[in-house]
Amino acid sequence: PKKPVKVLVTGAAGQIGYAIVAMIARGLMLGADQPVVLHLLDLPVAANALNGVRMELIDAALPLLRGVVATSDEAEAFKGVNVAIVIGGWPRRDGMERKDLISKNVTIYKSQASALQQHAAPNCKVNDDASRIRKYTISMLKHYCYYGTVKKKRARTDIYSDFAVQVCTHEVLVVANPANTNALVLKEFAPAIPAKNITCLTRLDHNRALGQVAEKLNVHVGDVKNAIIWGNHSSTQFPDASHATVSTDRGERPVRELIADEIWLREEFVTDVQQRGAAVIKARKQSSSLSAASAACDHMRDWILGTPKGTWVSMGVYSDGSYGVPEGVFFSFPVTCEKGEWSVVQGLEIDDFARSKMETSATELKEEKSIAYEFL
């Protein structure tokens, strides 16, 4: 049996937290055969509600759930965690300036970065070791395949593959807004954690984009793939369907060919995806939580277990300058994932329209960064 993975969920008494914990404990994030221990963090004012969540998790009798730590103490919550889903933060209130939102969250993320660095599983810090151990595992396996008995081989496979999995699961996903800039603060103040291990959530926007195309074409959402969210998880994001495809009876067809309406693709589709969060708030009087929790599971599952062949997904990652995007900000790109590592899909054609949309979002991210630095 696999060793349990310790998963931290911050803001666990909140709306998304309430929706996501059972999804994780049902294997939707890390796989149906991966036991988990949930570490739940929320503020002291939410301690009672958090305890209620813990009680409900026990009542749900979830076989993969090997333990729950519910606490308002950061050190206790971050202790030994392999995976962190960071949802807790200062919420945006009516009339609150963007600057105020950033300043409130900068303080939180600065402190959580130290907690993460200090208390998370030591494997959170050993990116290089992960690949070294992976190589070692493979060489051990080859060795035993050649010399060993089948029994011995199996024993070694279990030990080393288990170890490699443990070492490779050191992923941090920031959901709380402003997600890209919170991820940046976390990265800046946890320098021992490789930037590659910190990402932010734009998968909800990505899934919304797939949903909009599916509705427009009246096809199943599972047949639509390779939409892209470029930029910030904010209203400046650029939802791009120009590389997306749909599986049809006649094979895979570009969305652009099936929806010949360029105006819909450039205007209505873009605005609908950008404004979908606001539309949900208007309808529900609360922000998206079920879909956000589901998207966070999709994000982590694809990151850790890999994206299907020929499919990419959108993830907010630390920019390496791909597509002329400035370095030093967390920007949403199309990525593929393999063996726990993401990489930006390269070589996509970017027309002038897309370029200007991407620049607008990059400019906003640079502004957010400088506001954040004012408070650091």
Residues belonging to the active site: 233
Cβ contacts of 2 within 8 Å, gap of 6 or more: 33, 34, 35, 162, 165
| Closest alpha carbon to 24 in 299, 313, 210 | 299
With CB under 6 A as the contact rule, the residue among 31, 52, 91, 194 that binds ligand NAI is: 91
- Considering only residues 219 to 258 of the shown chain, the ones binding ligand NAI according to CB under 6 A are 233
Nearer to ligand NAI (CB atom), residue 245 or residue 294: 294
Is 274 a binding residue for ligand NAI by CB under 6 A? The answer is no
Is 175 a binding residue for ligand NAI by CB under 6 A? The answer is yes
Chain centre to alpha carbon of residue 257: 31
**Strand (E) positions, 24-138?**
36-41, 65-71, 83-86
Is 10 a binding residue for ligand NAI by CB under 6 A? The answer is yes
CB distance 20 to 7 below 8 Å = no
With CB under 6 A as the contact rule, the residue among 51, 103, 247, 287 that binds ligand NAI is: 287
CB distance 122 to 116 below 8 Å = no
Nearer to ligand NAI (CB atom), residue 39 or residue 125: 39
* Residues paired with 37 in a beta bridge: 6
Q: How far is the CB of 133 from ligand NAI (least distance, A)?
A: 32
Nearer to ligand NAI (CB atom), residue 289 or residue 307: 289
- Considering only residues 298 to 357 of the shown chain, the ones binding ligand NAI according to CB under 6 A are none
Is 16 a binding residue for ligand NAI by CB under 6 A? The answer is yes
Per DSSP bridges, beta strands 36-41 and 313-318 are: unpaired
Q: Report helix, strand or coil for 286.
A: coil
The H or E element containing residue 173 is strand 172-174
- CA distances from residue 267 to 121, 210, 255 in whole angstroms, order as listed: 46, 16, 15
CB distance 14 to 290 below 8 Å = no
Distance between CA atoms of 287 and 159, rounded to whole angstroms?
44
Is 87 a binding residue for ligand NAI by CB under 6 A? The answer is yes
* Residues paired with 239 in a beta bridge: 229
Nearer to ligand NAI (CB atom), residue 137 or residue 182: 182
Q: How far is the CB of 238 from ligand NAI (least distance, A)?
A: 15
Is 86 a binding residue for ligand NAI by CB under 6 A? The answer is no
Is 289 a binding residue for ligand NAI by CB under 6 A? The answer is yes
Phi first, then psi: give them for residue 213, nearest 5 degrees.
-65, -45
With CB under 6 A as the contact rule, the residue among 2, 15, 64, 214 that binds ligand NAI is: 15
Number of residues binding to ligand NAI, judged by CB under 6 A: 28
Is 108 a binding residue for ligand NAI by CB under 6 A? The answer is yes
- Considering only residues 202 to 221 of the shown chain, the ones binding ligand NAI according to CB under 6 A are 204
Is 292 a binding residue for ligand NAI by CB under 6 A? The answer is yes
Is 177 a binding residue for ligand NAI by CB under 6 A? The answer is yes
> Which stretch, 15-23, 58-66, 122-130, 183-191, contacts ligand NAI (CB under 6 A)?
15-23
Phi first, then psi: give them for residue 22, nearest 5 degrees.
-70, -35
Site residues, ligand NAI (CB under 6 A): 10-11, 13-17, 41-43, 46, 87-91, 108, 175-177, 179, 201, 204, 233, 287-289, 292
